[in-house]
Amino acid sequence: MRISVTPEGRENIFIPYSDSLIAWIENQNFKHIHNFIPTGHALLGADHDTESVIRDIRAAERLAITIGSAWNRNMKHALAILRNNELQIYDIGELTDSDLEKQELPNTDINVVSIR
């Protein structure tokens, strides 16, 4: 199973289709997914159950998947979620090109627009 994505525009950053991302996460059988919330002066981290992360994905204003060098710059957290004007990054493992199904057409899923 792969995550359907479109290129975001920057190297190694992709916009996932939310339904595909959710199906991929459910298929991984995660017990918990760790996240960080960059707050400026400190980093807050916690473990979340899968259903909580799926709710965040469904409520997201913006989503991004990072691989390679972008993943390294994102504290090795492959999923970025912007929700209620707050950025959270989630550790869903190290993803590679082989985990992604790249789409040529623009992503019209209203829950996924590029993080700028």
User: What's the mean pLDDT in 96-100?
Assistant: 94
Q: Is residue 111 part of a domain?
A: no
Q: Where are the alpha helices (DSSP H) in 4-115?
A: 18-28, 50-59, 68-73
Residue 44: the pLDDT is 66
Residue 47: the pLDDT is 76
Q: Is residue 30 part of a domain?
A: yes
Q: Is residue 116 part of a domain?
A: no
pLDDT over 60 (residue 96) = yes
Q: Is residue 69 part of a domain?
A: yes
User: What's the mean pLDDT in 29-57?
Assistant: 81
User: What's the mean pLDDT in 100-115?
Assistant: 64
65 lies in which domain range?
3-102
In this structure, what DSSP letter does residue 98 have?
A: G
Q: Is residue 10 part of a domain?
A: yes
- Our count of domains for the chain comes to 1
pTM for the full predicted model: 0.82
Q: Is residue 110 part of a domain?
A: no
Spatial CB neighbours of 49, under 8 Å, sequence gap ≥ 6: 31, 32, 33
60 band by pLDDT with thresholds 50, 70 and 90: very high
Sheet holding 100-102, edge to edge: 43-48, 33-38, 86-91, 79-83, 62-66, 13-16, 3-7, 100-102
Q: Is residue 115 part of a domain?
A: no
Q: Is residue 52 part of a domain?
A: yes
Q: Which residue has the tokens 């991302």?
A: 21
